[in-house]
Amino acid sequence: MYFMPVTQLLRHSSVLAVLLFLALVLQRTFLQASYYVTIETGINLRGALLAMIYNKILRLSTSNMSMGEMTLGQINNLVAIETNQLMWFLFLCPNLWAMPVQIVMGVILLHYLMGRSALVGALVIVLLAPVQYLIATKLADTQKSTLDHSTDRLKKTTEILKGIKLLKLYAWENIFCDSVEDTRDKELTSLKTFALYTSMSIFMNAAIPIAAVLATFVSHVLIDDHCPEPSKAFAALALFHILVTPLFLLSTVVRFAVKALVSVQKLGEFLESDEIGDDSWRNGDMPVSLETCKKPPGQTKAINRKQPLRYQLEGYDPPSRRTLRPHETEDVAVKVNNGFFTWGSNLSTLSDINIRIPTGQLTMMVGQVGCGKSSLLLAMLGEMQTISGKVFWSKLPDCEMLHEGNISWSEGEEPVEDIRSKNRYSVAYATQKSWLLNATVEDNITFGSPFNKQRYKAVIDACSLQPDIDLLPFGDQTEIGERGINLSGGQRQRICVARALYQNTNLVFLDDPFSALDIHLSDHLMQEGILKFLQDDKRTVVLVTHKLQYLIHADWIIAMKDGSVLREGTLKDIQTHDVQLYEHWKTLMNRQDTELEKDPEPDCQTALERKTLRRAFYSREAKNQIDDEDEEEEEEEEDDDSMSTTTNRRSKIPWGVCWRYLSSGGFFMVFLMVFSKLLKHSVMVAIDYWLAAWTSADKTNSSRAVRDSGPGNLTGNLNLSFATEEEKLDQYYMPVFIILCGAGILLCLVTSLSVEFLGLSAATNLHHNLLNKIIHAPIRFFDITPLGQILNRFSADTNIIDQHIPPTLESLTRSSLLCLSAIGVIAFVTPVSLVALVPLAVTFYFIQKYFRVASKDLQDLDDSTQLPLLCHFSETAEGLTTIRAFRHEARFKQRMLELTDTNNTAYLFLSAANRWLEVRTDYLGAVIVLTAAIASIWSFDYSIPSGGLVGLGLTYALTVTNYLNWVVRNLADLEVQMAAVKKVNSFLTTPSEDYEGSMGVSQVPEDWPSQGEIKIQNLCVRYDPQLKPVLKHVNAYINPGQKVGICGRTGSGKSSLSLAFFNMVDMFEGKIIIDDIDICSLPLQTLRSRLSIILQDPVLFSGSIRFNLDPERTCTDDRLWEALEIAQLKNMVKALPGGLDAVVTEGGENFSVGQRQLFCLARAFVRKSSILIMDEATASIDMATENILQKVVMTAFADRTVVTIAHLVSSIVEAEQVLVFSNGILVECDSANQLLAQQDSLFSELVRTNK
């Protein structure tokens, strides 16, 4: 029996080759397993952080949100960015202790091989490490400032897109576009610095190993006077290659550590922000026990439209109040004693509040715009900060508790106590600014309560939602909100009211539910919803309203003024004790009477909303249909629809999009990148080849010297000849080696810079073109494209193009070229190995193809599960007051946990797929190493390659393992990232409006239009060439300075005419001539900047009040104050800190809806145009203010042409000329009096309708 000692066994080269293969397989298997565990832990951490942030959001104080201290954008950033930064840091954490071990082991082995010279190489690495650290920290700082600028840019872009109609009508789009471009320039400056540091980082990672190898070998020659032999040289070279990875990771880990610290800081700030007060007040003890089981005998009164309101008020019979039982002191649901409340500043918003809300009755709150009605509701709900005073909530009597105990509030069985406590103090609250979930209409109304068909139907009818639901494609199962079809203000408001009615709570708070509804809907809601449905349910209702005609139905009235309670009591009390206030209300109602007598056709505004909904839905459906057809065409190209062809079709790399991206970067940059990359990799191979030749030459020389010298004078001659030979060789090889290394380092710098700046140039051009295309797109584009979709191009897609594509592109080209050069070298050294490489290449091709399809799908899955999660967070932040009033925090938290789990699972699958790929490519790499080793052994027997070349081949084979999976992963990443370029490109084909016009700006008189004379000749208008005309052959003449009213049934084309004045729609026949100039021949900017319009929906931009009134900065302060005075805002603005420069937060959130509408009126007054168009501009304003406004508009615009689009015919009965439209045709045109005199005229009929 023969035993072979281990040392002898290890001398067998084939045994070493197999051991090398096994070592690689083991190392890679353990590495991937550890990655997987780390990633799982990281994902768990992210889940925990998300839950923590969500819990905090649910407790955030309302003033934080409304005062702009905490914006939705910041919360979204925390969820989408900061949690991910911490997760990625955790992924890289194990490297913190693994890297030092790798580096120390590497240096020890190098010293063993190369002696002292190895320490010189290691010193180079150690000295350059701080530079890498410095670059990494700089990168993190730059990224932070880039993020700040991009958040700012996004905020501005969002505002532009939300107010695009107003910007176009006022010809302000270029001012706002420039403002975005300025922010983008700041962002690009940061991105330039970012690109510079990134390329320096890439350069350092590529150059350090070259510098270390250069230092080691040159110093070895200088110290030991000879070059190391191939076995040592290439072992050292392989070690330097291995050292690159931990060094490369070091800079990455440092960068992520710095980012993670910033994220922790931001999370810390957020978690320390103000929270809402403790909830104990809501069950504060109150010396009252209530019995709400019996209905008060006072019957509801029907609203009688036939009898004028003032008579109703005179002959008003107060609803009889329920008699109190002996043990009840007072019948009160909520009571506030000496309340002083604030929104965070020390100034109290509400002062000296003493009110009570009677149980089971209807309490109404009235007062002027901005007097604190909504604030008082929120104060009772505990959303405001209490300076002093108390809010008491009643306890529920036993019968009520039992009654509520029957409601099952969740699908699982819960003990009755849980159910009761869940619902006990929940308040059904409908905010003034409607808040909807991204869910179906039904889900929005039931809002987590069990579905009861009968109740649901009653609520739908009370809110007149059925006709709107019938219009939706899937009825009440249609998704609304962000991703669904956008509803109009009135429809959204009615759904919110329906939600409040449907809930089975004792208390219902309705904050101005009529503001966006026309008179008929308001009446119906008041009669069926509030007086009938809620009172039948014996619920306590608090209603904030501007509609004084409903006061006669109130059991209790709270009148407010300037943040305090002016009066409290029944209407009878007020009539007796405050005659002045009562008379004031009567005069306001007189005006309402005239409106009601001349009532328009029923549901005028509502029908308009429904028409808009129908139009929006069908146009979007048509667009979707076209998209679907395109997809179908693509699919039809493939004959066979089996799995393999699907994989084939989807594994195609989008070369076209790649080319478009590269060409936007500029051809010179593309050429520079390609050329420098190829040159760099050729030089890298040349360096290693030269090293192989040098070490082999030394070895062969020494053996030749030994052969040549005879046996006698062996030692003397040998030393001499050997030394001189070697010196000659070193003098020949070393300078070339140094030059090659220098060239390699220089080329590393050029390539890293060229890729980054190519990416930057492409990003600059793509964003610039996108912004200009979108802002100058016709208004129709915004009707049929969801806002979220456009915003995505500017946020997610632009971010990918800015920051993600360049490094992916760099990494892809580097790893591909490294793999190719490695395979080239192996084939050159041992041509035999090509035989084995062919099947390996085929295997690799199928692995990458299979993986790329799966990776793309998993990436889509990750994105599509992340979107609902982000939406849920922003929805919660927007609807905090509602969620807390309803007491639905637990349900929303549960939903958030489900969404987080779904997203985390998708992300885990994506990571697992990456591990799948890496294990397979690593094993392939190991097989390549084995192939190269065996081929070298076999060839060596035939003494084909020199020892140096064998070393070269094996070193390259070892690097392949590292780079194979990077090729595939970068390919997959690039494919996903190129989708962003594709999406941006799809918007770049949008047609723009024709801004030029046939007249030059200089040809238009400075003071045009000076008269305000309008001629409409044979005008035909449509929204889109594919759609039917909305106005047909209209002819009209408007005298200078005339006051004109335009009316007609819904859908008759009134609003289309107002858009036609601004050339916003397709006027395919006929013309409008203003002061002898055809408006179609004018440049759009000129036309729109010379006319004025007031829209129905108030739009304010963040900035100052001055900026909102006059973004062009052309007006004096006096002019602005004058406009504010006309709009009844002067005193309010004067009281603000900063006056005209006072801050307006995003969307004007720091002003009430009525105040916003007044600012929009002031904006139109600032532009002293001789033509003013008013499109139902006083919807959200109380009667008193509206009264003043009507008079002021008449005096301020006495000498100008005013065109009023009337939704209420009453507002134009004084008009000098009335245009009546029907189905797009102008049917009547005369003065109001003349038309009223004709009994059979359509105008008379409109006035008579519903009289």
pLDDT tens column, 365-393: 888 877 888 888 888 888 888 888 888 88
Question: Does 159 score more than 90 pLDDT?
Answer: no
pLDDT tens column, 623-634: 444 344 344 434
Whole-number Å distance between alpha carbons of 267 and 256: 16
Whole-number Å distance between alpha carbons of 516 and 608: 12
Q: What is the pLDDT of residue 355?
A: 87
Q: Which range is least confidently modeled, 97-111, 318-332, 645-659? A: 318-332
Q: What is the pLDDT of residue 29?
A: 92
Q: What is the pLDDT of residue 690?
A: 85
Report CA-CA distances (Å) from 965 to 848, 855, 915, 921. 9, 13, 10, 6
Quote the tokens at residue 954: 């094996």
> Token pair 């994989």 is at which residue?
647
Residues contacting 685, CB < 8 A, separation 6+: 821, 824, 825
Q: What is the pLDDT of residue 898?
A: 93
pLDDT tens column, 993-1052: 777 777 777 777 777 877 778 888 888 888 878 778 888 888 888 888 888 888 776 667
> Token pair 């998708």 is at which residue?
906
Report CA-CA distances (Å) from 609 to 435, 516, 601, 1141. 18, 11, 15, 36
Helices (H), 637-666: 643-650, 655-664
Type of residue numbered 505? T
Q: Which range is least confidently modeled, 320-324, 526-530, 900-904? A: 320-324
Average pLDDT over residues 649-665: 76
Most confident among 229-238, 245-254, 562-571 (mean pLDDT): 562-571
Q: What is the pLDDT of residue 174?
A: 83
pLDDT tens column, 879-912: 888 888 888 888 999 999 999 999 999 999 988 9
Q: What is the pLDDT of residue 1169?
A: 79
Whole-number Å distance between alpha carbons of 226 and 734: 11
Pairing of strands 427-430, 507-511: parallel
Q: What is the pLDDT of residue 45?
A: 92
pLDDT tens column, 175-189: 888 888 888 898 889
Most confident among 126-135, 401-410, 1044-1053 (mean pLDDT): 126-135
Q: What is the pLDDT of residue 606?
A: 60
Q: What is the pLDDT of residue 290?
A: 32
Whole-number Å distance between alpha carbons of 21 and 19: 5
Q: What is the pLDDT of residue 623?
A: 46
pLDDT tens column, 419-430: 333 333 678 888
Share of the chain above pLDDT 90, in %: 4
pLDDT tens column, 1139-1194: 778 888 777 777 777 777 778 878 877 877 788 887 765 555 666 666 666 676 77
Nearest Cα neighbor of 869 from 225, 172, 49 is 49
Question: Does 688 score more than 90 pLDDT?
Answer: no
> Token pair 């690159």 is at which residue?
244
For residue 200, the surrounding DSSP H or E stretch is helix 173-224
pLDDT tens column, 931-971: 888 888 887 666 665 666 777 788 888 777 778 878 887 88
pLDDT tens column, 1196-1224: 777 778 888 876 666 677 778 888 888 77
| pLDDT-based confidence at residue 608 (cuts at 50, 70, 90) | low
Average pLDDT over residues 747-764: 88
Are 1037 and 1216 within 8 A, CB to CB? no
Question: Does 636 score more than 50 pLDDT?
Answer: no
Question: Does 281 score more than 60 pLDDT?
Answer: no
Question: What is the edge-to-edge ordering of all strands in the sheet holding 350-358?
Answer: 350-358, 332-342, 385-393
Phi-psi region of 958 (alpha: psi -120 to 50; beta: other; left: phi over 0): alpha
Question: Does 298 score more than 70 pLDDT?
Answer: no
Whole-number Å distance between alpha carbons of 430 and 508: 8
Long-range CB contacts (< 8 A, 24+ apart) of 447-452? 447/499, 447/502, 447/503, 447/886, 447/888, 448/409, 448/888, 448/891, 449/407, 449/409, 449/502, 449/503, 449/504, 450/407, 450/408, 450/409
Average pLDDT over residues 408-436: 54
Question: Does 330 score more than 60 pLDDT?
Answer: no
Whole-number Å distance between alpha carbons of 693 and 683: 15
DSSP string, 1085-1126: HHHHHHSEEE-SS----SEEHHHHH-TT--S-HHHHHHHHHH
DSSP state of 532: I
Return the SS3 of 769: helix
Q: What is the pLDDT of residue 946?
A: 62
In the predicted model, what is the mean pLDDT of the chain? 77
Nearest Cα neighbor of 496 from 482, 513, 518, 508 is 513
Q: What is the pLDDT of residue 909?
A: 92
pTM of the model: 0.69
